[in-house]
Amino acid sequence: MGEQKNNEGKVVIVSGPSGVGKSTICKEVAKQMRNVRLSVSVTTREKGENEVDGGDYWFLSKKQFQERIDGGQLLEYAEVFGHLYGTPKEDVEEALAAGETIILEIDVQGARQVKAIYPEAEMVFVLPPRHKDLVERINGRGREAAEAAMERLNDADVEIAAGWQYYEHMVINEDLEQAINEVVQIIQQANGEE
């Protein structure tokens, strides 16, 4: 199941610390490229004010999430900041069978699980231009208390270290358009479209 043949699609994993702009980059890349789709993760966290169920995430109860785990319906899953996140297996298999590239916006834990299943997956890690930019982005989101924001920043350092260790491609999101273009180029190279 994990081997990717030339006529099959590709898995592209995009990770990075909270607030670095992964979601924006992934959505734009999927919009700009044909035969590229973005996997929609499932989560047990509360839906944000401007988020769309099925668009940003599939928002599930803990019971529904556990049912998906028990049913073997998740390619990977992890607990992050007290909430469960996972990648629906069916979406990935469907995209690959259709010859599409599927982008998985997942954390480092999940990325390592997926890489074990799909060793040919391209791994892209998005970095902030400077640590202070990440601090400003996380604090500027206004989603959580200062304590939770500090926890995200501490975890960001661990994620960045793992990014340097495990990922083939590092993209610095200082200029959004440039970062999007870099990810597009990585996918084009992976697909032999240079």
Q: What letter would DSSP give residue 5?
A: P
The closest alpha carbon to 77, from 113, 102, 118, belongs to 113
Residue type, position 162, single letter? A
Tell me: the pLDDT tens digits for 36-72? 999 999 999 999 888 888 888 999 999 999 999 999 9
- Over 70: is that where the pLDDT of 140 sits? no
In angstroms, the CA 45 to CA 148 distance is 14
Give the model's pLDDT for residue 123: 97
Give the model's pLDDT for residue 137: 65
Tell me: the pLDDT tens digits for 145-166? 666 666 767 678 888 888 999 9
Give the model's pLDDT for residue 122: 96
Residue 102: phi and psi, rounded to 5, are -120, 130
> Which burial class, exposed, middle or buried, applies to 134 when counting CB atoms under 10 A from its CB (0-12, 13-18, 19+)?
buried
Q: Which domains does the chain have, with CATH numbers?
A: 10-190 (3.40.50.300)
Average pLDDT over residues 118-136: 86
Give the model's pLDDT for residue 155: 78
The strand pair at 101-105 and 58-59 is best described as unpaired
Between 151 and 119, name the one with better pLDDT. Answer: 119
pLDDT band of residue 3 (cuts 50, 70, 90) is very low
Q: What is the pTM of this model?
A: 0.85
Which DSSP string corresponds to 17-85? -TTSSHHHHHHHHHHHSTTEEE---EE-SPPPTT--BTTTBEE--HHHHHHHHHTT-EEEEEEETTEEE
Cβ atoms 67, 107 nearer than 8 A: no
- Over 60: is that where the pLDDT of 142 sits? no
